[in-house]
């Protein structure tokens, strides 16, 4: 997954597409920039069926990478899925659908800086 995405659709559209039974998000505002370690809507399997909830984006960092750090900002790109660290989260109970309207990847510029290059389904999106 990228490190920046957007969700600018509305709750009704998410509920209809994902066949959500329970919406627990409250008044969901548009989120034009969703970064790791922030709250964002997800669709997950609940006891009564699919539910739309807010969840923090990211996975816990393996302990070896936290040495000397006081805060775990999480991992968004799992580069070694065969690692035993990730096995506990492979089950269906830990999966979710992440609704989004666009995502970005860094575009590296000639001067050495970068900016987000956005990818969207609709032509009218940036």
- Encode pLDDT of 89-113 as tens digits: 888 888 899 999 999 999 999 999 9
59 close to 75: Cβ distance less than 8 angstroms? yes
- Tens-digit pLDDT profile for residues 37-95: 889 999 999 999 999 999 988 888 888 888 888 888 788 888 788 888 888 888 888 88
Q: What is the pLDDT of residue 18?
A: 95
Residue 52 inside a domain? The answer is: yes
- State if pTM tops 0.85: no
39 close to 24: Cβ distance less than 8 angstroms? no
- H/E element, 56: strand 49-56
Domain total in the chain:
1
Residue 122 inside a domain? The answer is: no
CATH of the domain at 36: 3.90.1680.20
Residue 119 inside a domain? The answer is: no
Residue 118 inside a domain? The answer is: no
Cα 116 from Cα 112, distance rounded (Å): 14
Say if residue 22's pLDDT is above 90.
Answer: yes
């Amino acid at each position: 997954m990228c490190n920046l995405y957007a969700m600018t659709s509305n709750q009704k559209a998410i509920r209809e597409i994902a066949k959500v039974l329970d919406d627990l998000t409250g008044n969901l505002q548009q989120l034009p920039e969703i970064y790791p370690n922030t709250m964002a809507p997800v669709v997950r399997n609940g006891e009564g069926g699919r539910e739309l909830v807010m969840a923090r984006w990211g996975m816990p960092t393996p302990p070896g990478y936290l040495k000397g750090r006081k805060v775990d900002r999480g991992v968004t790109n799992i580069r070694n899925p065969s690692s035993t660290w990730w096995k506990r989260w492979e089950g269906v109970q830990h999966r979710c659908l992440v609704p989004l309207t666009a995502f970005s990847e860094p575009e590296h510029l000639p001067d050495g800086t970068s900016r987000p290059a956005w990818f969207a389904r609709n032509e009218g999106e940036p």
